[in-house]
Structure 1
Amino acid sequence: MEVTEADAVRRVAMISVHTSPFDQPGTGDAGGLNVYVLELSRRLAAAGIEVDIFTRATSSRLAPIAEAGGGIAVHNIHAGPFEGLTKGELPAQLCTFAREVLRAEAGLPLGHYDVVHSHYWLSGQVGALARDRWRVPLVHTMHTMAKVKNEAIATGDAPEPVARIIGEEQVVEAADMLIASTDLEAKQLVNLYDADPGRVEVVHPGVDLQVFRPRDTHAAREHLGVPHDALVVLFAGRLQPLKGPDVLLRAVARLLEQQPGLRSRLVVPIVGGPSGTGIEHPEALADLAAELKVDDVVRFVPPVAPAELALWDAAASLVAVPSYNESFGLVAAEAQAAGTPVVAAAVGGLTTVVADGVSGLLLDTHEPDDWAHSIGRVLLDDGLRARLAAGARVRAGAFSWEDTAERTLEVYERARASLRELV
């Protein structure tokens, strides 16, 4: 499709209700979604696109409009109490949030925004209203889907409510274009949500290849206080059943039963904070580590900034991603960019991110014995680990935020064209 200057997208309203680009990934509800929103916005801004991000304020100290660099404006909207509001309670605040988004646009010249891009179903509800009010296309990225999550519920987790499923169905119907992170997610949108295949485009998320890159392992370990000869099995992410950190702990316990000589060298950093149902029992993982008698090798590390996480990736012998569901698997992609092999569950987007036997190992099970075996293979076979590390670096080159932004702009332009045909 040829795009004229008049057709070109110049201003985007990015809606992210429940997590702010300023939030620290790995804690609360902050994770891959807010990394996605911020990194995509940065690349769009670098391409000359004005981006306004609308998110819910979680502190009275936040300015109504904050600068995120590169001309990105973050609108911190007051909708509900600043603290103590769970994601499950946010639907009750959507009317207030939507009203403030519409009010912000009302003070701008007519036709200010060219497209609305919403993230997660809560934002999609607001985006659908803005679409109709502003007469601009709605592009929506699901990130996670209730029907998919409910098909593979982790032990101790709760199913997603019917209200969310209905809300997601409404957003799928309202959106002019849907962005899926992988081919699998695109199929799930069509098969589970009756999305029109012609309105679904696959755009892979990216990795900041300047931050997550191969580094000197010894230097990284020196900085983090990890012994140079350690065997480091890293978990990074929110501590909730969905992410499966307990799977890793049970696998480590089984590995040490089989290979007791590894105990003196094994280090298992768990980098992240409680989230989701994990908030209800924030000490549960530490209690499990003690119960399994692996607390001497496990290190619990609070959530860290991307630059620090990149050091942990570089210091690791492998990164374990035992999730029960991942729409993409940003942690795995970042680890590979650092040249670190990944042992991951063969679920969701991880089957796209990780090339089995090339950049890591994929497991179609969460059984501790199977995970112990695969982790042990990578740790104890230097040749295998070196081959996977080389493959990881190559694999990471397939995912960059610059490519993501370029493809996303193409989707915006398609959405504008389809909207004009409907008017």
Structure 2
Amino acid sequence: MTLMKTIKDFLNNQIFIGIDDSDSKIGGCTTFVGYLLIKELIRQGINVVDIPRLIRLNPNVPWKTRGNGAVGITVYSEDIDRVYNVAVEILQKIEEEVASMPALVLIDQKQREFIEPIIKDAINRIIEPELVDKVIEKAKIIKYAKRRLGLVGALAAATLLLLEGDYTYELLAYRKPEFIGTKRKIDIESVRVIDRLYRKYTFNNIDGKRLLLTPHGKDPVLYGIRGEDPKKLIEAKKFIVSEEPLGWMVYITNQATDQHYVNRKISELKLGDSVRLNVFVKSSPKIRQGCVTLEVGDHEYTLTALFFNEVGLMKDIATKLEPQDEIIIMGGVRPFLDFGINVEKLIVKKLAKKIITLNPACPRCKRTLQNEGKGKFRCRFCDLKGLSLPKRTFFVSREIVPGLYLPPIRYFRHLMKPLKRYGKEKNGRNYSLNEYKMIE
């Protein structure tokens, strides 16, 4: 058997698994299902290859799950039925425990190539379930689902391999069953240690006295260390002092990449879109019930930009914008005030010149002249009248400067790129045929 045939056989026997919607209001976590499934696949001798994917989906979908993340796993197996049965057994167990309604898909490489152009917008747009139904039927996809909404995320996670563009990693540690539902025991000083020692490689660990790497619900996640290098995350884990975890694993993910902010024109927008718009300010800012609003537009259409209290300094910056300022706004299209964008990030590109006009100065005493009517001026101090002089114009310095403006880190959602990641963006990766081992 030639090397080329061996590689071809390997690629033909890849199975791409996608899972979503396995959490609920009372607990559960899709990444934990991924952890349990990978452990079981490895135990049964099924080869898990590459690195599992945590795909964060469009945060503006109304029916999103709590974490709005789906899990993708790639395995090498000639027995797809066996892989399906292992996955379904895990999902059914979770269903009973947390009353979730999970979705599962299994696809091969040909199906993945067919689906990818259709499903890639799940990161930034609302994908209608009816479209997913048609895709599944046409491609004859193997699935298991309690409701079809989860199939969008499952297909996205199975299909999107994060081979192009930016990506990060997250090491997730999970709680033992007896601890779930109790307060998480994590020493905050140990988190400060890793934040200091691994500052170059990690992000969003802590904000003042508030831990950012721990969730707050009843889900099984103990903590998640996010960063640029999986090896550094595994090193950093050793410094965390906490309750004893059940285990841990590393995901590759589109978190903290701004992948969902897609460049669009206003004419292309739909409700629920996550977008990046290059626009001009069309009106002076207004404050309504604590929210700053302003009209913005491109060369064709206008819409309302909204800055809520949560965005902190950005809201103050918005109050200082003037008509004709050129800005970039990033956020979600929401049904506010007919049609508007909830701004999450702001880039001030170019400030318009602010000019004030004053009456001319008296040629004798240099004080400002008063209007006399019909374009004439008089000086009430020198008693000069009937003066015909041009008005004076002055450029006024602006209170803001061009640049990037971000909300407080506690406001950040999963996909939003934090300041310390700017300049660290990656540009694609190599697909790995090696057995996955970053799990314990």
Give your verdict on TM over 0.5. Answer: no
Larger proportion of helix: 1
Structure-2-length-normalised TM-score = 0.31
Larger proportion of strand: 2
Higher-Rg member (1/2):
2
Structure-1-length-normalised TM-score = 0.32
